[in-house]
Structure formats: structure tokens, C-alpha cells
Amino acid sequence: MAELEFRDAVRDALDEELARDEAVVFFGEDVARPGGVFAVTGGLQERHGSMRVFDTPISELAIAGAAFGAAISGLRPVIEIMFGDFLFLAMDSLANQAAKYWFVSREQASVPLVVRSAVGAGGRFGAIHSQMPVPWFQGIPGLKIVAPSTPRDAKALLKAAIRDENPVLFLEHKRLYALKGEPGDDGEVAQLGRANVVRTGSDLTIVSAMKGVHDVLAAAEQLATEGIDAEVVDLRTLRPLDRDTVLESVRRTNRLMVVEEGPRTGGWAGGVLADVTEDALEYLDDAWRLTTADAPIPYSPPLEDAFLPSAESIVASVHEHLNTRPVNSSA
């Protein structure tokens, strides 16, 4: 079976949903004729026409406002905010209008709106093009946050997001666009709010999302050669959080590590730890998180690499907390 590239998975999901439902429209900056700055959306306008796939002026607030208006008028808009860093500019439409409209309308009107955005560091984009915006939106009721790690999940989760009646923030890590993986079943639609156990283990549970899942899996393979059996949970959706899957894993392993690409203060990893310790404290021998520093993301390649969680830093953190040492260590 031919592998599917992450960027193609996103494009295929958009293509199929545009073909399936005439209410779906897609717009944003340079997404139509140029095909997107990350070459994700090429060919969609040619297939579906300029009334349903089109470019917009450079105004994130205008894009989000137009999408909100379209959503409450019967369409199912998907918009692209080119970089997650620019979501601040769309905050009012997303946080004060789209996320609250079902509530303030006395549950009479939904807002089927999807916001796609490229996020994450490691691409040498600098401090204001590399951020992870999850903490900005994590505390907003009414908004869902989806964070896929594989091409298969990117396609199945985006299709689910477009069909959802709520506003959904769909985050695409820039360092995953070239990732190839299994395509999944034709027509597969994932369930939002459902995590996946992507590696079983008995000694500890490591939870992550997006690019972090691949770093954790690499770390788990290294740890396995050293006698430490890690279970890996891919959250896939950060809001709503699949607490049950994480709790079930922790009750088996008795240890929890959460790996987040994002600042320690206000990050989602702290929320996962709080949820688990609240409901499974009696099962826990240890629980901790590995995040980035509370600092802007460096542009310098060596500094950026050191700033981010990696397979190596995950392995080192596990050894520190389990009071073990690497097999090749003489310390």
C-alpha cells in the first residue's frame, strides 16, 4: 500500500469534504492559486471553483469574522490562518463569537467552523512564526482543539472536524508536513476527543501530541534497549481531553510523563497532570512533565534544537525520575 504524506492527507480531506457537502467552503491567505505557503492546498480551487475555494486579503480578523458569519448562515467554512502565531489577530471572532454563539443563542444555533493553522518550532522560523498556541485557547469553553501526529489521523480528524457542529481549531505541526505514513481506510472519519495508545508498555505512561509523539516513540525504543518498557499515548485531541484513556494507562503503569512542545507555565501538560492526579493519585508512584522553557523560541539552529524536547531529553528525564542510568553510561 502506498504511503500518504501528511500535507497530502490534509489536502485529501479538504478535497473529499468539499465534494461531499456543497456547504463546505475554504478560504484564507494564498490558499487557492498559490496552494498555500506549505504547499498543502494546491488544486482545490481548480476542482471546486473560485466561489468555494478562494484567497483573501491579509487580515486574520477579517478571515475569522467572515467565517463566523458564514457558519451561522448555513455554510461550513474551513479557513487557514497561515501561522498559528497569527491566531491572536483572530481571537475576538473565535473566542467571543464562534465559541460562545451556541450558548448565547440559547442553544438554537451552532457554529460549524474549522480553523487550520501551521504551528510549532524546529523549522528555523524564529520567535514569532514558531509558537504553539494551544495555551491561548485551552481555557475557552465551546472550542475544540485537534492536534494530529500522523497522515492517517490528519485526514480522519480533519474530516471529523469539518462535520462537527462546533468551532474546531485544527493544528498542523510544520515539521510533520513531509511525514509519510499509512493512509488508513477510504472514508475513515475519526472521533474527536479519543486518544490512541500507540505503543503498549508496563513501566510508565508517556503522553504527547503532534511532533512530540514521534520523539516519544523514538525515546521509548531507546528505553526498551535499557530495560524500561514505556507505554505511549497520542492524545490527538487536546480539547476535549480523553482522560479515560490516560487514566486507564496510568493505572497499569503507575507512572506518568507528559511531553509538551510549549512553555511550562499555562501549558496543557499541566492540565493532564492535574486531571490524572485528581482521579488516580493512589496509583501514581511518580508524575512529571517535560516542556520548553518559559522563553521565546530561539532562531539559532543549535539553540532551537536545545530548546525543544527531543528523544534524547525524554530518555534523560525518564532515567532521572526512575533513578536509573543509560546502559552506555559509566556515571
Q: Catalytic site residues?
A: 60, 129
**DSSP letters spanning 251-270:** HHHSEEEEEEEEESTT-HHH
| Dist CA 114 CA 168 (whole Å) | 5
Cell numbers given for 252: 497499569
Q: Contact, 170 vs 157, CB < 8 A?
A: yes
d(CA 120, CA 135): 13
Element (H, E) at 25: strand 24-28
Dist. CA 215–CA 141, nearest whole Å? 30
CA distance 226 to 316: 12
What gap in Å lies between CA 171 and CA 154, rounded to an integer? Answer: 9
The C-alpha atoms of residue 228 and residue 222 are separated, in whole angstroms, by 9
H helix intervals, the chain: 6-20, 44-48, 60-71, 91, 101-104, 134-137, 151-163, 211-224, 243-253, 268-280, 301-307, 311-322
76-83 and 114-119 strand pairing: parallel
Nearest to 262 by CA among 169, 138, 158, 170: 138
d(CA 282, CA 191): 30
Of 232, 175, 217, 230, which Cα lies nearest the Cα of 311?
Answer: 217
